[in-house]
Amino acid sequence: MKKILSIALSSVLLLTACDLDINDNPNFPGSADVTTDLIFPSAENFIADVIGDDMFTNAGFFAQYFDQMPTANQYNDLAELNINEGKNLFNRDYRLLFAGALNDLKDIMDRSTNTADIFACTVLRAYAYQVLVDCQGEAPYTEALQGASNLTPMWDDGKTIYEGVLAELDEAEENLDAADIITLTDPLLSQELSEWIGFANALRLRMLLRLIDGNVNVEANTAKVKALVADDNFFSGDVTWDVYSNAEGQYNPWFDCKNTLGASNHCAAFPIVTYMTGTEDPRISYAMDPAEYDGTYTGQIPGSKTKTPGWLGLTTSEYQNDRVSNIKYDVFRAAPVYFYTQSELQFLIAEVELRFNHNDAAAKAAYEAAVEIDFDSKGADEVDTFLTGFGEWKGSDTEKLNLIYMQKWVALFMRDHLEAWTEARRTDIPAVSPLKAEAIANDVDQYNAGDFIVPAVNQYGEGGLCKRVPYSSDARSTNKNTPAAKGISVPVFWDIK
């Protein structure tokens, strides 16, 4: 159910419109007189704005859900991986997370003695740092957020940050006083401490799997994920920032920015379209339209906007937006931002049951629950037909694990693109096609539907796909301890395959 926005929360939403340039102290109205219960939704909103706007677009290209519309140019750099620090891709998100969310959370934790409130803040702090590491690999952590006493904090490696925030979660949960309840204004989980504990466990599961696949303390971390799944103490439903409405100034941030631009820039990418059409997946109609030209779902090969007309024997003037499937922007006017979907959680549980517990029946049950939840979320019918057809649980363990990963990629489409990109890097599924983009365009029958495609125009010069975003140039200009620049081909610490 939609949550009613307070005046204070409405003000926060206005502060984080898509053109926000936040300053060093973004708390509104920025006074010590503001109570901690009103600061907390500000922190939640800053995080939602990162994962639900900029990184929804950026990771949507990296996860090969989107490509640049034939007659538009807004996202040519993303489609062609023309990305470096000078493009300022992560500047706004870095400020929203550090000067916004993490600063707000520290303010609350410094001022509060309520262990339930501190625990909820710690969970969000872990989430924010997970996003920072998964995006750029490293970040200020052990010396961060010290204000004027340290304006140039050292940056920590991703492994240190992951293990640090997981330890913080454990300590905050151990310190919970049974008499304390959450007193903070909390549109995310409605002040339900049990839901915050479930959210924390789901974050642990997500991050521990990345540590395992990053070859970090594999035996101990495997035991931890098995224990989490055995305990089955996770959140119910989805964890969503569900505060938007179909009213000017209160739109979903991703829709609001697209609406403000007044132009269609996103068409569906070839991998997601070919996989969903090839598996006769009815969810395809949720967020994209058939191409007007011939009424079929048609994806554009990544990075091929300037190449495709020639490959198809068309002139540039003939290759128009009606040739590809457009993304349905209007679906997202009042859509929530997804922090964690129940579908993703069930896919992760299925993975643990299959990989580590070798419990085929439990893995199958979690996998099918994940698919059913996503079908329901997107208003799609005939899930039983799908699960006895192209989505059927069958084959070897390797084939079943591949099915889990591919269906998770489908389920995260138009839900949580940062997680989709991150999980694709962790699992190497979808696989990267060995074929060049032009070869696929000229003979689609040799292409394995759903495989990632190295963009036809790839500006970073080494081939391959995006493995990280560049460090914020704002961080570099203000902090001499910002590490030397790393290209987008350099994996983050857990991406070692």
User: Is pLDDT at 8 greater than 80 in this prediction?
Assistant: no
Identify the pLDDT of residue 28.
36
Provide φ and ψ at 479, rounded to 5°. Answer: -130, 110
Buried/exposed 275-293: b ≥16 CB within 10 Å, e otherwise: bbbebebbbbbbbbbebee
Q: Whole-model pTM?
A: 0.93
Alpha carbon distance 494, 246 (integer Å): 40
Mean pLDDT of 138-148: 93
Those residues with Cβ within 8 angstroms of residue 337's Cβ, 6 or more apart along the chain or in another chain? 48, 49, 51, 52, 240, 241, 252, 253
Neighbours of 86 (CB within 10 A): 9
> Is residue 33 very low, low, confident or very high in pLDDT (cuts 50, 70, 90)?
low
Identify the pLDDT of residue 106.
96
Q: In this structure, are residues 324 and 314 in contact, taking their beta carbons and an 8 Å threshold?
A: no
Alpha carbon distance 339, 238 (integer Å): 8
Judged by average pLDDT, the poorest of 18-32, 251-265, 463-477 is 18-32
Identify the pLDDT of residue 315.
85
User: Is pLDDT at 307 greater than 80 in this prediction?
Assistant: yes
The tokens describing 483, both together, are 């590490």
> Is residue 262 very low, low, confident or very high in pLDDT (cuts 50, 70, 90)?
low
Identify the pLDDT of residue 236.
96
> Is residue 373 very low, low, confident or very high in pLDDT (cuts 50, 70, 90)?
very high
Residue position matching structure tokens 């993304």? 327
Question: What does DSSP say about strands 139-140 and 155-156: parallel, antiparallel, or unpaired?
Answer: antiparallel
Q: How many residues are given for the chain?
A: 497
Neighbours of 377 (CB within 10 A): 18
Mean pLDDT of 200-220: 98
Which helix (H) or strand (E) segment is 204 a member of? helix 193-213
User: Is pLDDT at 491 greater than 90 in this prediction?
Assistant: yes
> Is residue 32 very low, low, confident or very high in pLDDT (cuts 50, 70, 90)?
low
Identify the pLDDT of residue 7.
34
Alpha carbon distance 357, 482 (integer Å): 42
> Is residue 202 very low, low, confident or very high in pLDDT (cuts 50, 70, 90)?
very high
Tens of pLDDT, residue by residue over 374-398, are: 999 999 999 999 999 999 999 999 9
Tens of pLDDT, residue by residue over 449-458, are: 999 999 999 9
Alpha carbon distance 466, 78 (integer Å): 10
Closest by Cα among 9, 75, 18 to 255:
18
User: Is pLDDT at 22 greater than 80 in this prediction?
Assistant: no
Neighbours of 266 (CB within 10 A): 25
Neighbours of 366 (CB within 10 A): 22
> Is residue 294 very low, low, confident or very high in pLDDT (cuts 50, 70, 90)?
very high
Mean pLDDT across the chain: 91
User: Is pLDDT at 146 greater than 80 in this prediction?
Assistant: yes
User: Is pLDDT at 17 greater than 60 in this prediction?
Assistant: no
Tens of pLDDT, residue by residue over 313-351, are: 888 888 899 999 999 999 999 999 999 999 999 999 999
Identify the pLDDT of residue 27.
36
User: Is pLDDT at 243 greater than 90 in this prediction?
Assistant: yes
Identify the pLDDT of residue 115.
98
Identify the pLDDT of residue 13.
46
Alpha carbon distance 250, 236 (integer Å): 26
Tens of pLDDT, residue by residue over 42-71, are: 999 999 999 999 999 999 999 999 999 999
User: Is pLDDT at 403 greater than 50 in this prediction?
Assistant: yes
CA-derived radius of gyration, the chain: 22
> Is residue 20 very low, low, confident or very high in pLDDT (cuts 50, 70, 90)?
very low
Closest by Cα among 286, 382, 369, 321 to 65:
286
Judged by average pLDDT, the poorest of 17-26, 40-49, 382-391, 467-476 is 17-26
Mean pLDDT of 125-148: 96
